[in-house]
Structure 1
Amino acid sequence: MAQIKIYGIEKRLNLIKKQLSNTIHSCVVEALEFPENKRSHRFIPLAEEDVYYPTGRTYDYIVIEIIMMEGRKTETKKRLIQLLYERIRKEVKLSASDIEICIIEQPAYHFGFRGMTGDEMLLDYKVEV
């Protein structure tokens, strides 16, 4: 289970939303060994006046939050972050300095979907990768 939120300035984010979603999903499928049909992305476009970002960033600045069940190896999470930077730079043409990524892990029992908690679900993918 992974829920992904992408925040950015509305005018810019809306232009790249589909391409960014496809790119992020390809990274998740590869690094986390997710099934292709397990995409769960939420885009949160913000008005320009509602975004304050660090010096050295541009109008393209985005934040990607990945909320997922704990259990993945450090190497797996690092690989996901590396793939995201690599592919977003190449495919979406964003600078690495305009991309921030945060992985937030929670125990499986903190997730609820299809009427059960995550620790009760029989998943069609491995979490311990």
Structure 2
Amino acid sequence: MTTTLAHRLADYACALEFAELSPEVVHEVKRRVIDSLGCALGAWTEEPCRIAREITSEFSAKRGSTIIGTSHKAPPDWAAFANGCAIRYFDYNDTYLSKEPAHPSDNISAALAVAESFGATGPELITAIALAY
């Protein structure tokens, strides 16, 4: 039986350990998280971000994820939505310039939400974000 590319990627993702990341990668992931949080806070007063927070405030979860800038915990998907809106609003987040440019930090709001909801450690979060990139 041939292993598909999808299976090989999944095996790699499941096997990667924080200790395998270079200090440079860890440093750059931390920079991307700080940058994303700054983008989210900068967009705090913007109407679409306010609306996203308002919608998200209708959903609560004990083991949820924090909406940036509040004490409210929402289910991870809703937190990722509201936080992602704020991170992305001004389009100041990082850019990967390639044949088709992308914003890989769009993954950060989802990684933060899932990590908080499941009680992941800092190294686990950093590893997840490095994988997302």
TM-score (norm 2): 0.28
Report the structure, 1 or 2, having the larger strand content: 1
Name the larger-Rg structure: 2
If asked which structure has higher relative contact order (CA below 8 Å, sep 6+), I would say: 1
Report the structure, 1 or 2, having the larger helix content: 2
